[in-house]
Amino acid sequence: MNCVYIKEAKYLKDHSIFLRFNDGLCGNVDLTETINSHPIADSLKDPSEFSKFFLDSWPTLAWACGFDIAPESLYEKCEQSARSNTRGLLP
């Protein structure tokens, strides 16, 4: 995999974010499972806290509580989401 990074991130609702990467891949990812499986992210279970993410200097999706998610992991989630969405559209 080439170096991927996030060019755009927009809060949607609950624990879902729209992401656009430098190679053009874009889509919505639900991070509920990720947030629930890391104790450092407990404060992010509240959607109002979750929505306060930012892109740090790498750029990595990050929150003030110290939790972050690498672009490569988010890219994989975005690819999986895109695959599952297109499966439903195939005849």
Residue 14: alpha-carbon gap to chain centroid: 12
The residue among 90 and 66 whose pLDDT is bigger is 66
Q: What share of the chain is helix, strand, coil (3-state, %, to 5)?
A: 35, 25, 35
Domain count, the chain: 1
Q: Please give the residue range of the domain that contains residue 63.
A: 6-87
Q: What tens digit of pLDDT does each residue of 2-58 get?
A: 789 999 999 999 999 999 999 999 999 999 999 999 999 999 999 999 999 999 988
Task: Look at residue 2 in the predicted model and tell me its pLDDT.
Answer: 75
Does residue 1 lie in a domain region? no
Kindly report the pTM of this predicted structure. Answer: 0.86
CATH number reported for the structural domain that contains residue 18 in this entry: 3.30.2020.10
20, part of any domain: yes
Per-residue pLDDT, 82: 78
In a domain, residue 32? The reply is: yes
pLDDT at 1 over 60: no
State the Cα–Cα distance between residues 74 and 76, nearest whole angstrom.
5
Residue 47's SS3 state is helix
Position 15 in a domain = yes
